[in-house]
Amino acid sequence: MQLLEERIRKDGIVKDGSILKVDSFLNHQMDVTLFVQLGDEFHRLFAGDNVTKILTIEASGIGIACVTAQVFGCPVVFAKKNKTKNIAGDVYTSPVESFTHGTVYDIIVSKDYLKPEDRVLIIDDFLANGAALSGLAKLVQDAGATLVGAGIVIEKAFQPGGELIRSRGIRVESLARVKAMHSDGSIEFC
C-alpha cells in the first residue's frame, strides 16, 4: 500500500539495523485518519470472507482493530497478556515469546467471545517473528472457529514470521512488507 510505504519512509526511524520505530503514527501516537485508510484496505482484501469478529492483542493492535471493525460492522476481541481478576471463568490460552522483552507470556481470551460459528480476522500492527500471530491463531483454532486470515500493518519480511505463518496455510495480508533496512536509515519494501 503506497500511502503507508510513503509514511513509513517519511516518519519511520531505523534503529540498530532491525528496529523500525513508527511510534509517531502507529503504536504510541496513533494517526487515526491513516487508520481509517488502512481499515478500508483491510476491508477491500477481506470483504468477501463474512468476517464476524476481529481478534487482536493488547496493546498496540487495539486501535487499528477497532477502526477496521467499524468498516466490517463486527466486534473486536483483544487477547490479554495476563490473567486479571476481571476475567473469570473459562479461557483459551496460548504461550507467546516476546523477542522485544526476552520473556514468555500467556495470552488469554474468554471462551465467551470466540465461538465455533465465528469467522475471525486477526488484525495486528506488526509481524516479525510471528510469535504473537501464532498464538492468536492457536486461540482461534482452540475455539473451533474459522480463521479467515490475518491483516498486518507492517511485516518485516526479512524476519521469519510471515513465511512461517503462510506455510501453515494461513492467509496473511500485510499492507507494507519491509524487505531490508539499512544503517543509513533507508528502507526497502518488497
Which residues are within 8 A (CB) of 123 and not within 5 positions of it... i.e. 6 or more apart? 42, 54, 55, 56, 61, 64, 65, 68, 150, 151, 152
Q: Which one among 21, 44, 168, 182 touches its own copies, defined by CB under 8 A? A: 21
Nine-digit cell string for 120: 475471525
Residue 100 CB, shortest distance to its own copies, in Å, is: 6
Shortest gap between Cβ of 6 and its own copies (angstroms)?
Answer: 18
Shortest Å, Cβ 94 to its own copies? 16
With cell 493492535, the residue in question is: 61
Query: What b/e sequence results for 93-108 when a residue is b if at least 16 CB atoms lie within 10 Å of its CB, and e otherwise?
Result: ebebeeeeeeeeeebb
Interface characters, 30-59, with its own copies (x: CB under 8 A): xxxx-xx---------------------xx
CB of 59 to its own copies, least distance (A): 4
Which cell is 150 given? Answer: 490475518
d(CA 147, CA 145): 6
Told to check if 104 binds its own copies by CB under 8 A, we report: no
**By the rule CB under 8 A, 14 interacts with its own copies:** no
154: its cell numbers = 507492517
The helix or strand, by DSSP H or E, that contains position 76, with its residue range, turns out to be: strand 76-79
Which parts of 61-90 interact with its own copies (CB under 8 A)?
62-63, 65-67, 69-70, 73-78, 80, 84-88
Applying CB under 8 A, the residues found at the interface with its own copies are 15, 19, 21, 23-25, 27-33, 35-36, 58-59, 62-63, 65-67, 69-70, 73-78, 80, 84-88, 100-101, 109-110, 112-113
